[in-house]
Amino acid sequence: MTWRAAYFRDRLLNGIGLVALVWILWWAFDWLIVSAIGWGGDRASCLNATGACWPFWAEKWRLMLFGTYPFESHWRPMAASLILLTLVGVTGCQCARVIFRFSVRTLSVFWVLGCIVSVILMAGGIFGLSPVPTTRWNGLPVLLLLAILSLILALPLGIGLAIARVKSQSAVIRIAAAIFVDGMRAIPMVSVLFVGIFVLPLVFPRQVNLDPMWSTLLVLIVFHAAYVAEDVRAGLESVPAGQSDAALALGLTRMQVIRHVVLPQALTQALPALLNTIIGAYKDTSLVLILGLFDLVATARMAFSDPLWQRQALEAYVLVGLWFFVSCRFLSWVGRRIDQSSVR
């Protein structure tokens, strides 16, 4: 093909692309607004509608967010989710160097407090809050709690594993860490979750009553730690050997060298990769629905399994999809900001 022909083909392609773009946008607009049944409409009119059914969202939004959590106590999962989202938002903005400038210490205190408060809010049993069993924890707070708690606890474990793998002077420890990390990364998350639900209760003595929520959290921590370790390892290996040599020559102990010289540089290097791991882990948290835990995707399914609303599956999933889109875009925005600042 000559360049002239290519030019005309390109013009043609642009036209086709434009038509497709307009068509998709119009189709979405039509589904969402034009052919949709409005917020105040009733269920019966949804049955024949070709567009979205807003009454479904109006009716089911609380079920999709909080599932079967006791209805009168919905403020509790709401508050817990808001606390966790605020923590993520503030930390994300701080990493992206926008608005907030807390010290690491303040932020850590916030995180520890926030996590404890949200678990207490969910579980109840003290401060006059009625206890709620984990089987009734559903929806958004489950997604957030599992994702955030597992990642927060996986970070130190992963960093420890990476140090053990790269910096340990004992070959046995190095090899053990390497086998663990590479082995864990070679198996799918679903199989790890299966181990958590079926095998883990057999590992603990019978006096320990491990319920599925916590055993899932436990395996998620171990699973994500392997991925964190791999990212941090790359960071550690990118720190020039001269750095630790110099620090050792200044008389620092090996632990001090790692803690104050090597690790800060390694983590800065690893941050973009770590953020990708975090986004992936957050998205994959939804896989817990395979084991019968009810995260946001599972409560969406719950909302349209109501026989009265069976045709509204797409509406339910679109809402959840929107949530994931917004939250993942926020995290990847933070990632891009970090990339930009590290180039400078």
Partner 1 sequence: MRVKHTVLSGLFVITLGVAFTLIAWSVHNNLKSAGLELDFGVFWDSAGFDVSERLIPYDAGDSYARVIITGFLNTLLLALTSIITASILGVWVGFLSVSSRWSIRTLAWGFVELLRNQPKILVLLILFVVMVQTLPPVSSAWSIGGVVLSNRALLIPAIPLGDGILILGYVAAVLVWLRRRPHLTPSLLWSSLVIIAVAGWLLLRTEVPIDRPIREGFDYRGGLRISTQFLIMLLCLTLYHGAQIAEVVRGGIQAIPMGQIDAARALGLPPNRVRWLIIWPQTLRLIFPPLSNQYINTFKNTSIAIAVGYSDLMSVTGTMINQTFRPIEAMSVTIGLYMVSCLIIAAGLNRLNHRLNRHSRA
Binding region for partner 1 (CB under 8 A): 1-3, 6, 10, 13-15, 17-18, 20-21, 24, 169-173, 176, 182-183, 186-191, 194-195, 198-199, 201-206, 283-287, 289-290, 297, 301, 313-314, 317, 320-321, 324-325, 328-329, 332
Q: Which is nearer to partner 1, 100 or 323 (CB)?
A: 323
CB nearer partner 1, residue 87 or residue 289: 289
Select 36 or 193, whichever has its Cβ closest to partner 1: 193
Q: What angle do CA 5, 10, 15 make, to 5 degrees?
A: 130
Tokens of 74: 């919905």
What's the min distance (Å) between Cβ of 66 and partner 1? 19
Q: Please state, in angstroms and rounded to a whole number, the distance separating the CA atoms of residues 98 and 334.
A: 10
CB of 192 to partner 1, least distance (A): 8
CA nearest to 159, candidates 335, 247, 277, 332: 277
**Closest distance of CB 318 from partner 1, Å:** 8
- Minimal distance, residue 313 CB to partner 1, in Å: 4
Q: Which is nearer to partner 1, 100 or 194 (CB)?
A: 194
- For 159-194, what is the HEC assignment? HHHHHHHHCCCCHHHHHHHHHHHHHHHCCCHHHHHH
**37 pairs with which residues across the strands?**
53
Q: Check: CB of residue 98 under 8 Å from CB of residue 36.
A: no
Instruction: Give Cα separations from 204 to 108, 184, 200 (angstroms).
Output: 31, 21, 7
Among residues 132 and 142, whose Cβ is nearest to partner 1? Answer: 142
Closest residue by Cα to residue 225 from 175, 150, 146: 150
CA distance 314 to 43: 15
Residue by residue, DSSP assigns 306-340 as SGGGGGGHHHHHHHHHHHHHHHHHHHHHHHHHHHH
Minimum CB–partner distance for residue 190 and partner 1 (Å): 4
- Residues ≥6 apart with Cβ < 8 Å to 285: 143, 146, 147, 150, 220, 295
Q: Which is nearer to partner 1, 132 or 148 (CB)?
A: 148
**Least distance from partner 1 to the Cβ atom of residue 312, Å:** 10
Nearest distance from residue 6's CB to partner 1, in Å? 5
Closer residue to partner 1 in complex, CB, 2/103: 2
